[in-house]
Amino acid sequence: MTVRLRAHHLLCMLTYVGRGYSPAFTANYDRIVERLNSGEPVLVIEGPDDICSPLLNEEARPHCLSARVRERDARAAIALTRWLDDPVEAGRRLRPHRKLLERMRTAFAGGKTRQACLGCEWRSLCSSVAANGYAGTLLDAGSGN
């Protein structure tokens, strides 16, 4: 099995502390993080992903489908590709092991990959989580290189 994630959720997962749009959204997000923590790889996709899934049923016009959010994906993909020196694009599989997460979190905290966060309502929370050394985040992704 793989966890299907759109590009900007590769950033959002770094600061996830159990907060989100609705109880169903966070319950689903919690399960996804558990899967990642148990070693399931990520498949990068375009458009709504496994994290978006509950919102597609809850919202009349899910923001997950908007051009604004697709633009967020594009910015995240560009920034992560540059930072990791490895293409982050649809169809790519990656395993978010601990070293990769540390690298991504360092870049995020340093503002290197935050172009996708412009205009996001969760921006101050994510900034605060990163500034506090990612205390309380749920994604750990086990061990390994």
Query: Does 137 engage in binding with ligand SF4 (CB under 6 A)?
Result: no
Q: Could you say whether residue 113 binds ligand SF4 (CB under 6 A)?
A: no
56/128 with CB nearer ligand SF4? 128
Residue 122's Cβ-count burial label (10 Å; 0-12, 13-18, 19+) is middle
Cβ-based neighbour number of residue 53 at 10 Å: 18
C-beta of residue 85 within 8 angstroms of C-beta of residue 99: no
CB of 11 to ligand SF4, least distance (A): 4
Contact status: 77 vs ligand SF4 (CB under 6 A): no
Instruction: Work out whether 11 is an interface residue with ligand SF4 (CB under 6 A).
Output: yes
Binding site for ligand SF4 (CB under 6 A): 8, 11-12, 15, 72, 116-117, 120, 122-123, 126
